[in-house]
């Protein structure tokens, strides 16, 4: 999961930089919103869901993604019909919107450069690690193995990622424009409570599906284990303490911004205060403008 909640625009950002960052964040928002809508359409309408991307987009992505290693197709016949249908629709998610996920997740590489060149207040190393972990899941797991691409866990991953991103990017735009929104603020610091563990569980499950199952563990016998397999196997134990550390960090940030109650009364009070300040400034400007307009005819 992407947890770049600490990414903030610099206090003194040039208009050109602000414009660029707004365009980037809005582009990502539109892309991930389309992905989230596609997820909903697929889950509601199944194979009758209307197409959400051009065929040329899928062909373009297929030219650059690696050749897939084919595995057994999943079967859900052991479940009751309702559960089986839901799992089937989740397992078809890659064929329905996979190329869009590849495109917009890969575009997140720009966020590393944003932090590296000081366009935003964020640790470049942390941002790079977060972006790299997602890209590794997409390019090294989902787009490499059909057993991952056709797994229901991929559909769960799309749900967690897309819903997380359509709350994250509008929050950044609000920060850039200095226009506070309690809805964006609360969503940014609340949705992670469910989405972050769900995303981590999905990533771990997809990695596990692509590892050899018929061979001995690599520390006993490395036969059948590639270097890629051992790297991803070694990454799995890191997820558990990483989840605890980052979840604790995000929860502390939520309490700091929104307060200890779930409704976020502290955050609402902060947003209301800023809004009152802006309205007060606006009234002063309009009053000065009106006063000047009245003195000009009098002087004449």
Catalytic sites, residue numbers: 196, 203
Query: For residues 173 and 179, what is the distance between their CA atoms, to the nearest angstrom?
Result: 8
Check if the beta carbon of residue 140 is closer than 8 Å to that of residue 226. no
Query: For residues 206 and 213, what is the distance between their CA atoms, to the nearest angstrom?
Result: 14
CA atoms within 13 A on the CB side of 273: 6
Q: Measuring CA to CA, which residue among 81, 257, 52, 74 is closest to residue 162? A: 52
Measured distance between the N- and C-terminal CA atoms of the chain, rounded to whole angstroms: 66
> Residue 264, SS3?
coil
Query: For residues 2 and 5, what is the distance between their CA atoms, to the nearest angstrom?
Result: 8
Q: Measuring CA to CA, which residue among 251, 3, 29, 10 is closest to residue 129? A: 3
């Amino acid at each position: 999961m992407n947890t770049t909640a600490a990414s903030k625009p610099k206090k003194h950002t040039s208009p050109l930089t602000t414009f660029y960052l707004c365009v980037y964040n809005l582009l990502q928002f539109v892309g991930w919103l389309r992905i989230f809508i596609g997820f909903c359409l697929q889950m509601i309408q199944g194979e009758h869901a209307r197409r959400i991307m051009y065929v040329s987009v899928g062909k373009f992505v297929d030219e650059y993604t690696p050749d897939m290693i084919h595995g057994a197709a999943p079967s859900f016949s052991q479940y009751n019909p309702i559960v089986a249908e839901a799992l089937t629709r989740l397992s078809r998610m890659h064929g329905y919107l996979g190329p869009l996920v590849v495109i917009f997740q890969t575009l997140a590489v720009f966020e590393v450069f944003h932090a590296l060149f000081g366009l935003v207040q964020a640790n470049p190393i942390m941002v790079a690690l977060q972006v790299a972990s997602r890209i590794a899941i997409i390019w090294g797991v989902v787009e490499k193995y059909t057993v991952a691409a056709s797994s229901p866990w991929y559909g769960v991953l799309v749900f967690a990622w897309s819903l997380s991103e359509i709350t994250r990017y509008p929050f950044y735009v609000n920060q850039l424009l200095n226009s506070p929104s309690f809805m964006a603020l609360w969503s940014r610091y609340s949705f992670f409570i469910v989405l972050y563990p769900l995303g981590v569980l999905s990533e771990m499950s997809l990695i596990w599906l692509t590892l050899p199952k018929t061979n001995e563990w690599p520390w006993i016998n490395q036969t059948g284990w590639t270097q890629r397999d051992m790297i991803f196997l070694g990454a799995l134990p890191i997820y558990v303490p990483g989840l605890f550390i980052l979840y604790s960090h995000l929860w502390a940030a939520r309490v700091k911004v929104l307060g200890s109650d779930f409704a976020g009364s502290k955050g609402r009070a902060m947003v209301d205060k800023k809004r009152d300040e802006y309205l007060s400034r606006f009234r002063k400007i309009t009053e000065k403008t009106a006063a000047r307009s009245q003195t000009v005819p009098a002087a004449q």
